[in-house]
Amino acid sequence: MVPGVYQVADSVYMAYGYALTSPAMIVGDDGVIIIDPPEDVDKGRRTLKEFRKFSDKPVKAVIYSHWHIDHFGGVVAFASHEDAAAGKVKIIAHKTFLANVIKGSAGGLGPILGARVDYSLGTLLDVGPKGRINGGLGPDFVMKNPSLIPPNVLVDDELEITIAGVHMKIVWAPSEPPDEIVVWLPKLEVLHSAEVLQGESFPNLHTIRGTRYRDPERWFTGIDILRQFPAKYMVPSHGRPVSGKKAVAETLTAYRDAIQYVYDQTIRNMNKGMLPDELVDIVKLPPHLANHPWLGDFYGGVPHSVRQIYVGELGWFNGDPTFLAPTKSIEASRRYVRLMGGPSTVFKEAKKSADEGDHQWAAELATHLVRIDHRNWDARKLKAEALRQIGYGHTNNNWRNWYLTSAQELDGSIDHSKAIELQAPDLLRAFPTAELINGLRFRLAAEKTLNVNMTFGIRLPDVKEEYGLEIRRGVVQFHETLPNNVNVLLEISRTALINILLGKVEIAGKTGGHPYTPQAGLEAKIISGEAKIVRGKPADLTRFFSYFDQPSNEPIPITIR
């Protein structure tokens, strides 16, 4: 992972080792095209500085291969919001790109995914042999300053376009995410494979940080789309470039065959009645694939992919009705500990297992003690050390980081100040207002509203937009237009609304960085005159927002449950 710029072909360059993603630059007649800005603006600027050693032509287009933040977060290092809005720079992505970004950050599972990303990518760990080694797909995923410019050119199935004299074909190739696009440069015989090949590692057919089911069949058939191009050079978004038609074809074939092998053999053995614990012992890559340089166990892994294929295809139920409604985990742990002779006996046995090198069993035994008493520091420290010893033995980046980060959560040494922020300011400003307001529905405290019917309207005069949120007995429905007869109607500018959501409203002489609620921000804006209640009373506004969970600065516990 030594940083440097590869010249792949005439006028095509790749910057490798500066970020988790490896941006590409295509030099045209009167400008350059950037593919996949890295995850952070500062990393993007460093990358651009390296690219400028080869061309000082202006950026004419930026292509996002898909919605993951490490493929767009550094975009403002290469282009400005103003130039994109004026059409001076094309921002190209699949038509579903922005909806996917919003779903994965501002709405839905954004908070828990953000917490789990820290565990998976090791962002809370110090760099070193006992902490974070690298990002698996690249040197690191530290992200302090992400950005987003919304696309102004959308790709459906295919788009042929010429930019700065460079003719290219952009093709939809659903694989890792559903919105993946690849770029074919026919005159140069260069294929930008995006993340259809997920770096020099077996792919994350499932990511342990959490994601919707990634269909392996769709993934390997997505690679078959790439195999149709007679590419002499292949530039991936992660990993180093591949040169030579034979090498490109062989790499693509091996990669797709590995995915199909794991999927087909998992299905084959599921059809014999095997369960996940049995499948992971049976389904392993054959030597010619396991030893391939692009299929090592460094990022994705066969065992957790096999488990997800089972769940993705059959669901969580293993067929034994005993586990349709099992004894709750905490109660089960209490009973196990009692049956084994009490906490002290269980601890002694866990310590003995650890001393004998059976760290997995030590961690499992200690889990029962921690589960029934989070203040049992002896058990927590014992489990933490067991997880560290297991983690040190793994080359898989995601597994290793998770073991080591969970160990820090257990022994209390974890530093949440290093956490990444998926709801960064520049991202929220780029999202449609409607999506930001709609996202409130995931915070409704339904139990408080089972007998409530109340409608809130919001008018944003500066952007000429009006929306509504209707609480109706346990659900909140978003309205794309202002409903009739709202109980309370608020008028506020979009800028002021964004500042409220970001916690950047002065309250009692303080600013963001302290316990903060959108309701308090709204009240401050009303007092200052920047917002006003057009219909209803201040008490109505207070009552409406009292039905929603307030944002919390407290970290989400992942391991201690």
303 versus 1: which is more confidently predicted? 303
Q: pLDDT tier at 510 (50, 70, 90 boundaries)? A: low
The percent helix, strand, coil of the chain (3-state, each to 5) is 40, 15, 40
pLDDT of 307 strictly over 60: yes
Question: Do the strands 24-27 and 166-172 form a parallel or antiparallel pair, or are they unpaired?
Answer: unpaired
pLDDT score recorded for residue 212: 87
Which residues, in sequence order, are CB contacts of 525 under 8 Å at separation 6+? 492, 496, 500, 505, 531
Q: 40 or 519: whose pLDDT is higher?
A: 40
Q: Which of 23, 31, 27 is CA-nearest to residue 3?
A: 23
pLDDT of residue 460: 96
Query: Which domains occur in the chain, in start order?
Result: 4-313 (3.60.15.30), 329-416 (1.25.40.880), 432-545 (3.30.1050.10)
pLDDT-based confidence at residue 423 (cuts at 50, 70, 90): low
Least confidently predicted of 48-62, 127-141, 214-228: 127-141
* Confidence (pLDDT) at 529: 87
State the amino acid at position 193 in one-letter form: S
What pLDDT sits at residue 365? 98
317-371 pLDDT per residue, tens: 999 999 999 999 999 999 999 999 999 999 999 999 999 999 999 999 999 999 9
What's the whole-model pTM score? 0.93
pLDDT at residue number 513: 46
From 400, 422, 397, select the one nearest 204 (Cα to Cα): 397
d(CA 494, CA 325) in angstroms, rounded, equals 47
Q: For residue 507, what pLDDT is reported?
A: 64
pLDDT of amino acid 220: 97
Rounded Cα–Cα distance for residues 172 and 181 (Å): 4
47 burial (CB, 10 Å; 0-12 / 13-18 / 19+) is buried
Residue length of the chain: 561
Distance CA(119)–CA(420), nearest Å, equals: 11
Q: What mean pLDDT is predicted for residues 492-503?
A: 84
Residue 98: pLDDT above 90?
Answer: yes
DSSP 415-447: -GGG---TT-HHHHHHS-HHHHHHGGGGGB-GG
pLDDT band at 420 (very low <50, low <70, confident <90, very high): confident
Calculate mean pLDDT across residues 459-486: 96
Predicted confidence at residue 97, as pLDDT, reads 96
Confidence at residue 512, expressed as pLDDT on a 0 to 100 scale: 47
Query: Which tens digit of pLDDT belongs to each residue from 237-267?
Result: 999 999 999 999 999 999 999 999 999 999 9
Question: With bands split at pLDDT 50, 70 and 90, how would you rate the model's confidence at 46?
Answer: very high
pLDDT one-digit tens code per residue, 31-42: 999 999 999 999
For range 371-400, the mean pLDDT: 97
For residue 177, what are the CA distances in angstroms to 17, 54, 68, 119, 530? 23, 32, 8, 21, 41
| Secondary structure (3-state) at 183 | strand
Q: Mean of the pLDDT values across residues 175-184?
A: 96
Q: Is 74:146 a contact under the CB 8 Å cutoff?
A: yes
- Do 398 and 301 contact (CB within 8 A), yes or no? yes
For 541-550, how does the pLDDT look when each residue is reduced to its tens digit (9 = 90+)? 999 999 998 8
502 has pLDDT over 80: no
Closest by CA position to 142, among listed 158, 125, 159? 125
**Mean pLDDT, residues 528-533:** 90
Q: How far is 38 from 192, CA to CA, in rounded Å?
A: 15
Write the burial class of residue 334 (CB in 10 Å: 0-12 exposed, 13-18 middle, 19+ buried).
middle
Percentage above 70 pLDDT, the chain: 97
Question: Mean pLDDT across the chain, nearest whole number?
Answer: 93
What is residue 74's predicted lDDT score, i.e. its pLDDT?
Answer: 96
pLDDT of residue 114: 84
